[in-house]
A and B are shown apart, each in its own frame.
Chain A
Amino acid sequence: MDGPSVGLQLQRLKEAVIGCDLDNVEKIAREALDIGVKPVDAIQEGLAKGIKEVGERYGKGEAYLPELVMAANVMKKAVAVLEPHIPKGTDLGSLGKVVIGTVEGDIHDIGKSLVGTILGTSGFEILDLGVDVPAEKFVSGVAGQNVRIVGMSALMTTTMIRMPEVISALAGKGVRKKLVVMVGGAPTTKEWAREIGADAQAGDAVEASQLALSMVKGR
Chain B
Amino acid sequence: MKRWTLALVIGASLSAQVKLPPYTREALPNGAVAYYMQKTGLPLVSFRVLVKGGAESDPATLPGLSSLAAELLERGTARRTAAQFAEELDTLGGSFGAGTDRQSTSISAEFLKKDFDAGFALFTDAVLNPAFREEEVRKLTARRADSLKTSKDNPGSAILNYYRSFFFGAGHPYGRLPEESTYDLVKREDIVNYHKQMYVGSNLVVMVAGDFDPAAAKARVSEAFGGAPKGTAYAWAEDRPPAVPGAPRVLLVDKPDATQTYFIIAQPGVRRTAPDRVALNLVNTLIGGRFTSMLNEALRINSGLTYGANSSVDLARLTGAIAINTYTKTQSTAQAIDMALDVLRRIQENGFTAQQLASAKASVKGGYPTSRLQTADQVAGTLGEMELFGLGRDEVDQLFQRIDAVTLEQANAVARKYYRTENLTFVLLGNAAKIRESAAKYGPKVVERSVKQPGWAM
- Are A and B physically bound partners? no
Chain A residues packing against B (C-beta within 8 Å)? none
